[in-house]
Amino acid sequence: MTATPILEMRDIGKRFGHFHALKSVNLKVWLGEIHALMGENGAGKSTLMKILAGAYTATSGEIIIDGAPRPIKGPKDALAAGITLIYQEMNLAPNLTVAENIFLGSELARGGLVRRGKMVREAQQVIDRLGAQFRATDLVMSLTIAEQQQVEIGRALHRQSRILVMDEPTAALSSRETQRLFELIKRLRQEGMAIIYISHRMAEVYELSDRVSVLRDGEYVGSLTRGNLSAGELVRMMVGRPLSDLFNKDTHIPVGDVRLELDGLTDGKKVKPVSLTVRSGEIVALAGLVGAGRSELAQLVFGVHKPTGGSVRVDGNPVAIHSPRDAITLGIGLLPENRKEQGLFLEMAAHENIVMPTLERDARFGMLNRRKALGISTDAIRALNIRVPHALVRAGGLSGGNQQKLLVSRWVAIHPRILILDEPTRGVDVGAKSEIYRMMGLLAQQGVAILMISSELPEVVGMSDRVYVMCEGRLAGELGRDQISQENIMTLATGVELTTTPV
């Protein structure tokens, strides 16, 4: 490692109106290192990198490249400085070939004619250097997400970039594709490239990073070298409290009467007859492997799909739920597994997303009560600490953790009696997780019956009063509080019967 960093960002500040997204942030990166950038969603990681890439202009501070100040006022300045940012959403032209994407904006030409043959040959050299399996003449739309990432990296190599920023690059990759990406990143480090790697996944940071810098609430907290990394210290830096405080479930909440009861509920396909109960004030987990039928069961209860058999009771009374509207009328909320495709209206404002289920309830003479709606959403944003400059900001522009908290606040706004949470903390960092867990605890204290579907075993163990485990569409067993352990859950999830003495 050289004495002078390739990149230094000094006292970077960024305001959006009155909202301070970044406050005097500092960052140093050297050639030949993988520098992880961590922090809870909304901490300012992506904003800082967009300033580096020229997508945003800093309100204050300076950027130094190779020891000299380098003003970056737009993407062209960043590219000229040897900086490439690979966004989480690919920035490629799908209807063009790999070679055309690699040369996009810098096409080779002679006498006014594009030299396509030379472009293909040079692009293929870059592709071979990456060890990719596709050809320079392939259309980008025919490639997998992992291969499209390789095209982005190939473009950076062609531009002779020295600083490569990767924002959550494994979000849509399989485990095998992720390992291949890691091998490529390590090879680029050996070739002397500086790599800034944004991730909230601890395992990835442990495997890849030489150093880790942490942001919290738009401020630089500190950095750790590889030898000093620990999950507990990283969590403390990101959220300002130790890892032991992450699961803050109150085990002394009084449990009331049965609020939700399923008796032989089935869709005749993925969900075999399922019977379970959830009491008021209780958090019951529904665990199991992917494809076990958990989400399908939740959708039956919420009226997304019609059951072919069985019954649902709410507070002991049989109910007929033919649609989500019927479920909402009964005080049932469902946070779906896929927030972007099944939950959020991305082009609408944050406050509009929150009050969507209550519009009819709060309307006066068929007219929307805008003042009341804005008040409800503002209170919900404050209660879940959703980091937005104001309630009118577009939901699609928020970070993943803030989008998830937005969905949770939607159901808090209806004052639910029953809340079904399908993978409530998937794709969010520990800070957002802690806020969601805190809200779950508050709702349980208020007597809400919570059914939580989760694939994260520490979450199931840390937050549940009881656990039902599904296997191949059926209930494989039930675990009481004293029986809940990762070993017992996995035993039932894989179709093995528990011994008489649970682990």
Q: How far is 447 from 450, CA to CA, in rounded Å?
A: 9
The whole model's pTM is what? Answer: 0.60
Tokens of 247: 């699961």
7-245, CATH topology level: Rossmann fold (3.40.50)
The pLDDT tens digits along the chain (503 residues) read 567 899 999 999 999 877 788 999 999 999 999 999 988 766 888 899 999 999 999 999 999 999 999 999 999 999 999 999 988 777 889 999 999 999 888 887 887 777 888 889 999 998 888 888 899 999 999 998 888 888 988 888 888 899 999 988 887 777 788 888 899 899 999 999 999 999 877 788 889 999 999 998 889 999 999 988 887 788 778 777 655 566 766 667 788 999 999 999 999 989 999 999 999 999 999 998 877 899 999 999 999 999 999 999 999 999 999 999 899 889 998 888 776 666 676 777 776 767 776 656 655 656 666 677 677 777 767 776 777 766 667 777 777 677 777 777 777 777 889 999 998 887 777 777 888 888 888 889 999 999 999 988 888 988 999 999 998 899 999 999 889 988 888 888 877 776 644 44
Q: How far is 431 from 384, CA to CA, in rounded Å?
A: 11
pLDDT of residue 503: 47
Q: Please spell the DSSP secondary structure of 237-306, one letter per residue.
A: HHHSS-GGGS----TTPPP-SEEEEEEEEE-SSS---EEEEEETT-EEEEEE-TTSSHHHHHHHHHTSS-
- CA geometry: angle at 165 spanning 6 and 172, to 5°? 160
Q: What residue ranges do the domains of the chain occupy?
A: 7-245, 258-493
pLDDT of residue 299: 93
Closest CA to 410 of 352, 327, 329: 352
pLDDT of residue 248: 64
User: How far is the CA of 33 from the CAs of 15, 64, 168, 181, 197, in angstroms?
Assistant: 30, 17, 18, 16, 10
Q: Do domains 7-245 and 258-493 have the same CATH topology?
A: yes
Phi, psi of 314 (to 5 degrees): -120, 120
CATH architecture observed for domain 258-493: 3-Layer(aba) Sandwich (3.40)
Compute CA 250 distance to the chain's CA centroid, rounded to the nearest angstrom.
26
Q: How far is 365 from 394, CA to CA, in rounded Å?
A: 28
Could you give the strand order of the β-sheet that contains 258-266, starting from the edge strand earlier in sequence? 274-279, 258-266, 309-314, 317-319
Closest CA to 155 of 106, 193, 196: 106
pLDDT of residue 19: 77
pLDDT of residue 351: 65
CB neighbours of residue 32 within 10 Å: 16
Tokens of 432: 């957002």
